[in-house]
Chain A
């Protein structure tokens, strides 16, 4: 019985190791593209990036299945009531932590899209990590939700 349990545990551990290795460097959670006017010159892409590994990671570039002029990594910061948008060389995701890409903070910009996708469309994205690996996934086009979350938060206090 004792032996069986340890064998079972061993199998679980082995399986979980295999799973995290297969998942690559980062876990991409809830990726989305912000719905924008049909003539929008830039589109924002947001997601949560989790790093379950022992090493720090960074996203150093991104590509999209859409035809765009270029893809940039950006960060918005508020300084003295002024919003500053700054292109970044990398989006860091420290070991055993998460970086949230969201409106008003870190994000990926698709600049000069050939055609702005509609609500519900899916856009294929590829992230290039600092260790040279790449991760591809689909992001869905939807409305921004940052404000809605704030609303919910406030409503609870009423």
Chain B
């Protein structure tokens, strides 16, 4: 009726538009999840076998990572800025999931992996991680094990030494500059790595992170994985 009133000129475009919409709807089928902040691996990747330690569990290895979704963040407790920011963001995400009362994603196990076992004892590490959220676990291990895990996941980190605001480069032998043995900073990746319940690397959340976007993406990723 309205088409008639608008004149015949409009009838054909409107009909075509309607058809186009119908076709698009059919082609799309069930709505594909929209991922906003994560890089999805084309195929979940096997990561290096690792054996790290946790204060109460004893060990934390690939078997522990299986059976649930895990979010791995790599850092160190002496971290001045990035780790506190990210751990607080992850805690906000967990609170958001808990307040969603099951409507959102299955809560992931957040794992704070310290790349600084020299200074981060297991007790110190767990107290630090657990402060942000009681479910968080802090794990670490031999530097060589951490290196292997980092390499296999794609985490970069490097120790840096400063004196009076200027970077001090260790000599070729890697000897730590005198007096700076305990005061190094660590530059590190700010990405958060998602392992699926088979313990494979599934997606990477690159910085900056937002708790609500993380929740939506986790829900979409988990739904996509189940179907």
Contacts and interface: CB of A to CB of B under 8 A. Distances in A.
Given A78-B207, A144-B88, 18 more contacts: A37-B77, A37-B127, A39-B124, A39-B127, A41-B78, A44-B81, A76-B81, A81-B207, A83-B187, A83-B190, A85-B82, A85-B187, A109-B80, A144-B84, A146-B85, A147-B89, A147-B92, A151-B211
B81 A85 contact: yes
A154 interface: yes
A108 to B, nearest CB: 10
Interface of B is mostly: mixed
Interface string B79-112: 1111011001100100000000000000000000
A94 interface: no
Contact of A82 (B127, B187, B209): B187
B213 interface: yes
B162 A40 contact: no
A57 interface: no
Interface residues of B, number: 38
Nearest to A158: B212
A87 to B, nearest CB: 5
Interface in B181-207: 185, 187-191, 206-207
A10 interface: no
B190 A107 contact: no
Interface string A87-123: 1110000000000000110010101000000000000
Nearest to A46: B81
Given A81-B206, A147-B92, A107 B81 contact: yes
21 contacts: A34-B84, A37-B131, A39-B127, A42-B79, A44-B81, A81-B207, A83-B190, A85-B187, A88-B165, A104-B82, A109-B81, A111-B80, A144-B84, A144-B88, A147-B210, A147-B211, A150-B208, A150-B210, A151-B92, A154-B212, A154-B213
Contact of A104 (B77, B130, B208): B208
Contacts of A154: 210, 212-213
Contact of B78 (A34, A42, A143, A150): A42
B136 to A, nearest CB: 11
B190 A78 contact: yes
Interface in A116-158: 143-144, 146-148, 150-151, 154-155
A85 B79 contact: yes
Contacts of A83: 81-82, 187-190, 207
A87 B167 CA distance: 9
B194 to A, nearest CB: 16
Contacts of B130: 37
A153 to B, nearest CB: 9
Nearest to B82: A83
A38 B210 contact: no
B162 to A, nearest CB: 5
B153 to A, nearest CB: 13
A7 interface: no
B60 interface: no
